[in-house]
């Protein structure tokens, strides 16, 4: 299994969200964003319980895995991540990110996910205090800061979450940790600059990439062009 640290930490990278693709021609859509310069593919997994939407399961992930070399970033917005994480890893997911709000013992969940051989991420919703994730920074590979309420694509960016990115980045720098900060929700060629300046280095963008009026390549180039803040 590939390492998530093959993906650079010191520049802006782009993870298009498959949720915004045309599901009638998924392989074509994935090839389009891969050829356009995407760094990884973000898979929004929703169960209709933790969030009010249902999306894709392991069978879909398995069906697309042979058709792309992109790193698979699986964001489990589900109530029982450990129950299903193994199936997603078998299907081809290389990073499993779970929500801290779903787990009473995040350290146990992280340890169990490590046994699967995948990279491990922890996500926090906009209203969840950043302090809930700080104790686990030295045992994970990625923090995903949600900049919208999870559940549906196309929502507006919530700038108030940027302080979370700043705090997490400060902790990473002070402790010299090897860790990605990913941000998801309302990221486009305009909001990406504030996110980058706040310390996020990995940008999830769905509608802004798959449905950009000038094409995916232009969209990804403009996201890549954001300048990381001095906080890096």
- Residues annotated as part of the active site: 44, 184
Tell me how far apart the 2 most distant CA atoms of the chain are, in Å. Answer: 46
Euclidean distance between the first and final Cα of the chain, in Å?
Answer: 27
Question: Do the beta carbons of residue 20 and residue 60 sit within 8 Å?
Answer: no
Residue 205 pairs with which residues in a beta bridge? 16
Nearest-10 Cα torsion for 157, 125, 166, 208: -30
Helical H segments across the chain, by residue range: 26-35, 58-64, 81-91, 106-114, 162-175, 192-197, 207-210, 216-224
CA 114-119-121 angle, to 5 degrees, is 95
């Amino acid at each position: 299994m590939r390492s998530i640290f093959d993906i650079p930490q010191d520049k802006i990278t782009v993870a298009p969200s498959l949720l915004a693709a045309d599901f009638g021609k998924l392989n074509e859509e994935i090839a389009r964003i891969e050829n356009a310069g995407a760094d990884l593919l973000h898979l929004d997994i929703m169960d209709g319980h933790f969030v009010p939407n249902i999306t894709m399961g392991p069978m879909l992930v398995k069906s697309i895995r042979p058709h792309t070399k992109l790193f698979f970033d699986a964001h489990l917005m589900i109530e029982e991540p450990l129950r299903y994480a193994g199936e997603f890893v078998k299907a081809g997911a290389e990073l499993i990110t779970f929500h801290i709000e779903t787990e009473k013992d995040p350290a146990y969940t992280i340890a169990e996910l490590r046994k699967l051989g995948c990279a491990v991420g922890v996500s926090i919703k906009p209203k969840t205090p950043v302090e809930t994730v700080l104790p686990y920074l030295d045992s994970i590979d990625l923090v995903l800061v949600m900049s919208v309420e999870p559940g549906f694509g196309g929502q507006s960016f919530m700038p108030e979450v940027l302080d979370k990115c700043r705090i997490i980045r400060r902790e990473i720098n002070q402790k010299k940790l090897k860790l990605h900060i990913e941000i998801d929700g309302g990221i486009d060629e305009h909001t990406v600059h504030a996110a980058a300046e706040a310390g996020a280095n990995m940008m999830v963008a769905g509608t802004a990439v798959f449905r950009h009026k000038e094409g995916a390549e232009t969209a990804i180039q403009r996201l890549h062009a954001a300048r990381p803040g001095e906080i890096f």
